Amino acid sequence: MTAGTLVSWLLEQEARALLTRIEDIRPFAIHETMVPAANLSPAAQLGIERTIADGRTVLRRRVLGYLSWLRGPGRAASPADQQRRFVVLRLQFNNVLSQFDLFTEVVTQRSEHGTGVWLSGLDALAADALRLPGDYFEPPPVACYLARGPGAAIRRARTRLPGGASNPIAIIRVPRERMVGHGIASSLVHEVGHQVAALLSLVPSLRSRLQAEQRDRRPEDRAPWACFERWISEIAADLWSVGLLGIGSTLGLMGVVSLPTLFVFRPSGEDPHPVPWLRVLISCGIGDALYPHPQWAALARTWTSMYPSHRLTPDYARTLARLEAAVPDFVQVLTEHRPPALRGRSLRDVMPIRDRRPERLLELFTHWRQNPAAMAQAPPSLVFATVGQARAAGRVTPEWESRVLGELLTAWAVRSSVDITELCATRTTPAAVPAA
């Protein structure tokens, strides 16, 4: 066997091996077990399966095309060209595997006892947080999974997956250590805020507004606004979280950024996350602007007493003081901003102001303590906002909170499963046969 023939033979064997592995990429529906209540939504399941199937089909066609070329015109190609084409093919294969592994993280945990059902309940919370009355956008399917570490993250729908395919669903990673309490909603709804901001093209719109603010201000007053512009993607997501969850969002944020002092005051540089110390104060400012109440100032004082700034260098302390002083004006610009996608309405206008006022949340909590069944029927984001407000007011214990929220996540998962089953049964019931 000549060297060229040996290369062709080896590459053909490798390509055929890829085919056998492609056949092992099977639909999740036939090799992942889960109870019905832990299921993904039909839209999410369908989006995942179609993406994997499409990638598998395209890759199989390319491998077969390569084999056909290798056995025909490719015989006259140089060994280097044969190898180059195979390497490209293998990279494409690895991209499909990366997509499969990504979705595997989402699906596999659905088989874990207890965890899978809770994840389905978190899906319901995320879907509720994605709803914006007014037909401003079509919300994508969403799926949650747990991971170690204190932070959450999102892979937004309609962004590019490895290999270039469009992601069919929003995938939200939530920290396992926050299960189950009001803090899990704070992390999750913040990530939903990133998806909402993308659907509304909110960040480019806000950046333009903040750049205009910098031009209109005196040179010595521009530095804080340049920082706000750099941080706006994270602050916009915080706005969505505070808007839906009230003080529970800020308490959850404090839980995430309660770190050693060095990290709480660390300058952010080019990081889009604000300095943690200031980020909590911005969250308090957003809450007070949307839902005015003395609790926000009290929470801000509590935070600054936990992390006093007097030990910082004088220059850095003055920088933070200038930023803190600019927060009220910035929050007003933020909440009154009218992005084109909202067709003349401001960000404040689309928030559920009436239902999230602290007094109203505590009224709901009192009612729900007497009528627990009504709590399970309420929108999940409203429930978490109510429990967070009750926690801030000292009306619930962490033990009660964890037990009740765990039960509610299960109830929402079961309700979603039953609703889907009823829908399918309704659509598949055969029409009555007319009497002869």
Task: Output the average pLDDT for the chain.
Answer: 89
Q: What is the dihedral of CA 140, 146, 148, 152, to 10 degrees?
A: 30
pLDDT of residue 114: 76
Predicted model pTM: 0.87
Measure the CA–CA gap between 18 and 90, rounded to whole angstroms: 8
Question: From first to last of its 436 residues, what are the pLDDT tens digits of the chain?
Answer: 566 678 888 899 988 888 888 877 777 766 566 677 788 888 998 998 888 888 888 888 999 999 999 999 998 899 999 999 999 999 888 888 888 888 888 888 888 877 888 999 999 999 999 999 999 999 999 999 988 876 789 999 999 988 788 999 999 998 887 777 778 999 999 999 999 999 999 999 999 999 999 999 999 899 999 999 999 999 999 999 999 999 999 999 999 999 999 999 999 888 899 999 999 999 999 999 999 999 999 999 999 999 999 889 999 999 999 999 999 999 999 999 999 999 999 999 999 999 999 999 999 999 998 888 899 999 999 999 999 999 999 999 988 998 999 999 999 988 876 554 444 444 544 443 333 3
pLDDT of residue 105: 80
Q: Who's near 118: CB < 8 A, 6+ residues apart?
A: 179, 180, 406, 409, 410, 413
Strand partners, 200: none
Strand partners, 144: 172
Helical H runs in 109-246? Answer: 115-130, 182-199, 202-216, 223-245
Residues 137-150: b if buried by 16+ CB within 10 A, e if exposed? eebbbbbbbbeeee
Q: What is the dihedral of CA 228, 230, 233, 239, to 10 degrees?
A: -10
Label residue 304 exposed, middle or buried (CB < 10 Å: 0-12, 13-18, 19+): middle
Q: How many CB atoms lie within 10 A of CB 33?
A: 8
Label residue 273 exposed, middle or buried (CB < 10 Å: 0-12, 13-18, 19+): middle
pLDDT of residue 423: 41
pLDDT of residue 424: 46
Which pair of structure tokens corresponds to residue 244? 């839906």
